[in-house]
Amino acid sequence: MNDMRIAERDVETNEVKIAARDVQVYYGTNHAIKDVSVEIEDKTVTAFIGPSGCGKSTFLRCINRMNDTIDVCRVSGDIRIDQQDIYDPKVDPVQLRAKVGMVFQKPNPFPKSIYDNVAYGPRIHGLARNKGELDEIVEKSLRRAAIWDEVKERLGAPGTGLSGGQQQRLCIARAVATEPEVLLMDEPCSALDPIATAQVEELIDELRKNYSVVIVTHSMQQAARVSQKTAFFHLGNLVEYGETGHIFTNPVDPRTESYITGRIG
Amino acid sequence: MTDASITPPSARPKSGLFAPDARTRKRNAAEKRFRLYGMAAVGVGLLFLLFLFTSILRSGLPAFTQTVLDIEFTLTQAQFDTAESKMLKTGEYQNIFVAALQGQLEERGFEVEFDAKAIGRIVGKPGVTIRRYFLENPDRVGTPAGFELAASSRVDGYANGRVTRDTIVDSRFLMTRDLDLVDALREAGIIRGAFNWNFITGKDSGVDNPGGAGIGASVIGSFFMMLVVLFLSLPIGVAASIYLEEFAPKNRWTDVIEVNISNLAAVPSIVFGILGLAVFVQFAGLPQSAPLVGGLVLTLMTLPTIIISTRASLAAVPPSIRDAALGVGASKMQSVFHHVLPLAMPGILTGTIIGLAQALGETAPLLLIGMVGFVAREYPEGFLSGFTDANSAMPAQIYTWASRADPGFYEKAWGGIIILLLFLITMNAIAVVLRRRFERRW
């Protein structure tokens, strides 16, 4: 409880974790992201909202350079995490992704055991020196993802055999197991039922204590519930960015207002 | 739903649920017809398969039996000494054998007249076998010794029904009157059918001795070829596919390579054979008829198959797994080797084994590099020389037998096909088992 209050207060004083300036993304000839500049704070949940195809997922994937895997995708501009340019030629995207974890829209556990799913990241990054430490990391990560109690009896069972909500929480456990500093979530609840969604949202709020969380969502209620900052994207532009309360109650831009009130999108 | 459900089209007449209208009846009839066509097609396929198997088994099973003549008699020391002092020693042994046979026939109440020549037509030259036996085991002289002598291919054919009294033509191979003797010997229980182990373990024989022909040596040849194919085409094929599918940039070069690989899969095998002859034998100077060269040629043939099936199974791995691996900070190579490759493994193994099975049944290229059937006269001396010693392979052996004049070889060819099919079925079974095993690990 005590921690919660500290976290709440931190919202005001957090420093900038991710700073993007004039980011442009092209898919071939399609200009998908236009001039986006945004400053994302540490220990804050930032929600990206906007209609389908507005570029919010694309922008999210720029932050851990997942777009590198798409051949036709070109990114220009400047994205800095802790003042370091992540598109600098000296940056190894693999190292970056260890620092910037990601949870995907569709739950995608590895077709391995629950234990191996969580242990995979720590293993390849050498975070554990022995089996005991690895066990500890796995348990801690599963606890953080609020799924420990459900799976502790069957860590050897396949991760793909879990229900959709459990799978997504397993993916979150997998993402936090590598101790990232930023957690990117691309519509993590779109495949989940309301109960699982509530669990994941609770979890996101928990994660805020340690991470800077960026979440893409189609649900405005969700954005309002979990985020402290909200960015509204429309047709590749960042239309409005600010405190979640402000955006939802007092939007400056007419497009934001139309979207929030359900007139576009 | 769209407007259609809001305003039903006026053309649609009202109808009850229990009486199907004309359109529904037509649709159901079409579906029923289609199912019948499908079942008929499957039925025709099964019928052909059944026909194929019965004809293979009917023609090929006789190759696994050999008519033998069992006889036990005692050679006295005096007979041995006389025979060894004669000029025509084996002829004397033959006479002793004929006398013994005659005695045994009379003992069992059969009266047939025959001479040493008739015996020669029925079991070849027993004198040679008998003399060799007693020279090697002189202590057996004076005690009863049993012999199992292989009957000639015509007698074998008579026992199998290939040769009948109506079709037989008197020749130096077999006379009609010899059949009386064969019948008598059979009734006396002296001639019987025995399982022909020599067919499975033996080597190729001369063109006039189908009874002595065995497929064993060419099975060994095929085995060494398959070793070469497996250990070259699997690593090269899988490595090439992984690079092309996961790492290579998509540009004109990789497009050209891709198209060419697909085209290579369709190149007739004889082209690979003549390529192998030119490159491996004539240019590189590798020994002719060697399983090593055969394996190299078949590797070239198998590579496109393996690459295509491997790439297909790599491409079938859902991209979300790759994303997941990259998302937790795995490198490209880690994501491929830890996650994509294990998932693609069943497909890769199936493709490889199908490629190997194809290579196992390939004949034409082997004929061009000299791995013809009659080369399989000797077993290789050791493991390494198995790769370089001249040998044949199963399909080439079968081809050689099928083209020989003696009808005895005809059933040997069918028998060879049974053995080849057994190998192929085993390989396919292994493919299925491996597939199951790897799929169980999700």
Contact yes or no for B328 and A178 at CB 8 A: yes
CATH number, domain with residue B395: 1.10.3720.10
Q: What's the gap in Å between the CA of B42 and the closest CA on chain A?
A: 36
Contact yes or no for A121 and B328 at CB 8 A: yes
DSSP sequence for A203-230: HHHHHTTTSEEEEE-S-HHHHHHH-SEE
As given in the structure block, the two tokens for residue B63 are 């190759």
DSSP sequence for B221-281: HHHHHHHHHHHHHHHHHHHHHHIIIIIS--SHHHHHHHHHHHHHHTS-HHHHHHHHIIIII
Contact yes or no for B328 and A120 at CB 8 A: yes
- pLDDT at position B127 is 82
- pLDDT at position B10 is 66
Residues B134 and B224 in one domain: no
Q: What's the gap in Å between the CA of A12 and the closest CA on chain B?
A: 30
Contact yes or no for A111 and B328 at CB 8 A: no
Is the pLDDT at B371 greater than 60, yes or no?
yes
Report d(CA A216, CA A219) in Å as an integer: 9
- pLDDT at position A4 is 43
- pLDDT at position A12 is 55
Looking at chain A, which residue has its C-alpha nearest residue B318?
A108
Residues B331 and B369 in one domain: yes
Side by side, the strands of the sheet bearing A84-85 are: A30-41, A16-27, A73-81, A84-85
**Interface test mutation site (partner B, options A61, A68, A69, A137, max chain B beta carbons within 10 A):** A69
In a domain, B386, yes or no: yes
Domain membership of residue B233 as a residue range: 216-438
Percent of chain B surpassing pLDDT 70 = 96
**Single residue among B145, B165, B195 that ends a domain in this structure:** B195
- pLDDT at position B401 is 92
Report d(CA B199, CA B413) in Å as an integer: 11
What interhelical angle do A164-177 and A114-125 show, nearest 10?
A: 20
Q: Which of B124, B135, B137 shows the shortest CA–CA distance to B89? A: B135
What is the ipTM score, two decimals?
A: 0.85
The residue whose two tokens read 């590798």 is B286
Q: Cβ(A24)–Cβ(A77) under 8 Å?
A: yes
- pLDDT at position A13 is 57
Q: Which residues pair with B74 in a beta bridge?
A: B144
- Interface check for A191 against chain B (CB to CB < 8 A): the answer is no
Q: Which of A95, A86, A62, A90 shows the shortest CA–CA distance to A184? A: A62
- Interface check for A125 against chain B (CB to CB < 8 A): the answer is yes
- Interface check for A196 against chain B (CB to CB < 8 A): the answer is no
- Structure confidence at residue B8 as a pLDDT band (50, 70, 90): low
Contact yes or no for A98 and B338 at CB 8 A: no
Q: Cβ(B353)–Cβ(B428) under 8 Å?
A: yes
- Structure confidence at residue B226 as a pLDDT band (50, 70, 90): very high
**Interface test mutation site (partner A, options B255, B320, B328, max chain A beta carbons within 10 A):** B328
In a domain, B204, yes or no: no
- pLDDT at position B183 is 84
In a domain, B78, yes or no: yes
CB-defined contacts A:B, below 8 A: 69
Mean pLDDT of chain B: 87
Is the pLDDT at B187 greater than 50, yes or no?
yes
In chain A, what residues touch B338 (CB-CB under 8 Å)? 120, 124
Residues B135 and B242 in one domain: no
- pLDDT at position B7 is 61
B138: Cα within 13 Å, side-chain hemisphere: 5
Coil, strand, or helix at residue A75?
Answer: strand
Residues B257 and B371 in one domain: yes
Least confident of B34-38, B205-209, B294-298, B354-358: B205-209
Specify the long-range contacts of residues B110-119, CB closer than 8 Å, at least 24 apart.
Answer: B110/B184, B110/B187, B110/B188, B112/B180, B112/B181, B112/B184, B114/B178, B114/B181, B116/B91, B118/B175, B118/B177, B118/B178, B118/B181, B119/B94
- pLDDT at position A8 is 47
Residues B161 and B273 in one domain: no
- pLDDT at position B6 is 60
**Single residue among B147, B166, B195 that ends a domain in this structure:** B195
Task: Tell me how many domains chain B contains.
Answer: 2
Contact yes or no for A69 and B326 at CB 8 A: yes
Residues B186 and B312 in one domain: no
Q: What's the gap in Å between the CA of B350 and the closest CA on chain A?
A: 20
- pLDDT at position B440 is 57
Report d(CA A215, CA A234) in Å as an integer: 16
Q: What's the gap in Å between the CA of B331 and the closest CA on chain A?
A: 6
Q: Cβ(B312)–Cβ(B361) under 8 Å?
A: no
| Of B14 and B248, the one with more pLDDT | B248
**Interval B418-431 mean pLDDT:** 91
B52 CB neighbour count, 10 Å cutoff: 11
As given in the structure block, the two tokens for residue B191 are 């001639």
B65-109 pLDDT, tens digit each: 888 888 888 888 888 888 888 888 888 888 888 888 888 888 888
Contact yes or no for A175 and B338 at CB 8 A: no
Facing A97 at nearest CB: one of B320, B321, B326: B326
A129-154 pLDDT, tens digit each: 899 999 999 999 998 888 888 898 99
Q: Which residues of chain A have pLDDT under 50?
A: 1-11
Report d(CA B228, CA A116) in Å as an integer: 37
Which of the listed ranges A29-33, B249-253, B270-274, B382-386 does the model predict with the highest average pLDDT? B270-274
Contact yes or no for A120 and B330 at CB 8 A: yes
Report d(CA B386, CA B396) in Å as an integer: 17
**Interface test mutation site (partner B, options A68, A102, A138, A171, max chain B beta carbons within 10 A):** A102
Residues B154 and B230 in one domain: no
In a domain, B9, yes or no: no
Number of H helices, E strands in chain A: 11, 10
Residues of chain A numbered 20-79 and touching chain B (CB < 8 Å): 64, 66, 69, 71
Q: What's the gap in Å between the CA of B307 and the closest CA on chain A?
A: 23
In chain B, what residues touch A177 (CB-CB under 8 Å)? 328
Contact yes or no for B323 and A71 at CB 8 A: no
pTM (2 d.p.): 0.80
Residues of chain B that touch chain A, judged by Cβ-Cβ distance less than 8 Å: 249-250, 318, 320-331, 334, 338-339, 343, 441-442
As given in the structure block, the two tokens for residue B151 are 């009957």
Residues B288 and B403 in one domain: yes
- Interface check for A174 against chain B (CB to CB < 8 A): the answer is yes
- Structure confidence at residue B166 as a pLDDT band (50, 70, 90): confident
**Interval B5-24 mean pLDDT:** 73
Residues B86 and B169 in one domain: yes
Contact yes or no for A120 and B249 at CB 8 A: no
**Interface test mutation site (partner B, options A120, A123, A137, A183, max chain B beta carbons within 10 A):** A120
**Interval B306-333 mean pLDDT:** 91
Q: Cβ(A18)–Cβ(A182) under 8 Å?
A: yes
Looking at chain A, which residue has its C-alpha nearest residue B438?
A111
As given in the structure block, the two tokens for residue B90 are 């084996």
Looking at chain B, which residue has its C-alpha nearest residue A159?
B442
Facing B328 at nearest CB: one of A71, A111, A174: A174
In a domain, B317, yes or no: yes
User: Where are the alpha helices (H) located in chain A, listed in sequence order?
Assistant: 2-13, 56-63, 93-99, 114-125, 131-144, 148-151, 164-177, 194-207, 220-226, 244-249, 254-260
- pLDDT at position B47 is 97
Contact yes or no for B324 and A108 at CB 8 A: yes
Residues B157 and B267 in one domain: no
Residues B401 and B305 in one domain: yes
Contact yes or no for B323 and A95 at CB 8 A: no
In chain B, what residues touch A104 (CB-CB under 8 Å)? 320, 323-324, 327
In a domain, B188, yes or no: yes
In chain A, what residues touch B343 (CB-CB under 8 Å)? 111
Contact yes or no for B249 and A71 at CB 8 A: yes
- pLDDT at position A7 is 42
Give the type of residue at A230. Answer: T
Residues B161 and B220 in one domain: no
Is the pLDDT at B40 greater than 90, yes or no?
yes
In a domain, B14, yes or no: no
**Single residue among B162, B195, B228 that ends a domain in this structure:** B195
Angle at B345 between CA B341 and CA B348, to 5 degrees: 110
- Structure confidence at residue B364 as a pLDDT band (50, 70, 90): very high
In a domain, B365, yes or no: yes
- pLDDT at position B219 is 93
**Interface test mutation site (partner B, options A62, A66, A94, max chain B beta carbons within 10 A):** A94
